[in-house]
Amino acid sequence: MRNAPSTADVAAGIRRRVFEHAMRNNGGYLSQACSAAEQLAFLYNEALTLGPSIMAMIPPPFGGVPSATNADYVTGAGYNGPFAPEYDRLFIAPAHYALVAYACLIEVGRMAPEGLEMFNRDGSSVEMIGAEHSPGMEVHNGTLGIGLSTAAGLAWGRARRGEAGEVCVFMSDGEGQEGQTWEAVQAAAHHGIGNLWALMDVNRQQCDGAMDDVMQVGDIATKLRNFGAVVAEVDAHDLDALRQAKALPHEGQPLIILANSSPTHGMEFLMRRFPRLHYVRFKSAEERDEMNVAIAAELGIEPIALEDH
């Protein structure tokens, strides 16, 4: 039996797995791994109180959507442990980070590496945009902005029942453009929902490019405070800073940690693509080979063995 990995090791493992996957599949959500690896590693490896996974290490195939006739339907929540009063729940609000979240599940021993091979394959539950039935996903979040509201409702209900478990949302800064995010913060503050916290990946990037070009959101921290949240601002790649932020008291208020991240952290070679980083594709085999060598060197691994094409 191996020793429990350090959170830094988990983060490094996430970057390596996502990089390897992107190389083998001619593209992927690389920058999300760069910005969020420490954050997801922090959540799964130490910040959250999660029970052991109750799901198969190799994810089951797609088993149908929820309906009155689909009695066997289950969500991917079981990968985060059983629904028990003492355990926390985690929503991955930007479901586009699914590849990164799956890589994290593997690194913390909740999913087999084979799970990543099923990513975005027809008939698989390991979907590209995490669905409710995808490993580690607890609710549908592919439409941005709904995660924090859902979490607030769940947290209110859990507090009402006297459950010790908290509700955590991994968010993206792009969600600050959605009005619903602000509705959720004001509601959580109004109802004193203190068992709710969020970790927001502030990478300043969105699908069209840099957020400042697409739609400026201004000073998110001040806005969140004015809406009633306790806010911490940290370097997303500094684990001790994340730990200190999580320890902030926030009784009767949601805590939102703004994790200022670099969308190329650990893979600086990607700066050549800036600001189009949302989904990295290769225009040619040469380009892929060049990136393979350069980023592998940054990650301290051998270039990924690729079949000829």
Partner 1 sequence: MEMVNRPYAAAFEAYAVQHPEVLCLSADLTSSCEIDGFRDRHPDQFLSLGMAEQNMLSFAGGLGLAGFRPFLHSFGVFLYRRPYDQLMASVAYPRRKVRLMGFLPGITTPGGMTHQAIEDISVMRTIPNMTVLETGDATEVESIVAEADTVDGPVYCRILRGSVPRLFDTPLRIGQMRVLAEGDDVLVVTAGITTEEAMRARTALGRAGVSVRHLHLSTHKPFDAAQIVGHAASVRHGVVTLENHLVTGGIGSMVAEALAEAGLARRLVRLGLQDTYAHGGSRPYLMRYYGLDALSLVRAVEQLTGEATGIGEEALQAARVEAVHSAVKAEAL
Q: By the criterion CB under 8 A, which residues form the site for partner 1? A: 65-68, 75, 132, 139-143, 145-146, 149-158, 160-161, 179-180, 183-184, 186-187, 190-191
Minimal distance in Å, beta carbon 98 to partner 1?
16
By beta-carbon proximity to partner 1, the closer residue of 76 and 263 is 76
Rank residues 117 and 183 by Cβ distance to partner 1 and give the closer one. Answer: 183
The CB-of-242 to partner 1 minimum distance in angstroms stands at 25
Closer to partner 1 at the Cβ: 78 or 275? 78
Q: How far is the CB of 179 from partner 1 (least distance, A)?
A: 7
What is each CA distance from 26 to 217, 223, 280, in whole angstroms?
Answer: 33, 39, 9
Nearest CA to 256 out of 267, 243, 245 is that of: 245
Rounded to the nearest whole angstrom, what is the least distance from the CB of residue 159 to partner 1 in the complex?
9
- Which of residues 75 and 261 has its CB atom nearest to partner 1 in the complex? 75
CB of 48 to partner 1, least distance (A): 17
Of 187 and 230, the one with the shorter C-beta distance to partner 1 is 187
Directed axis angle between helix 285-299 and helix 7-24, to 10°? 170
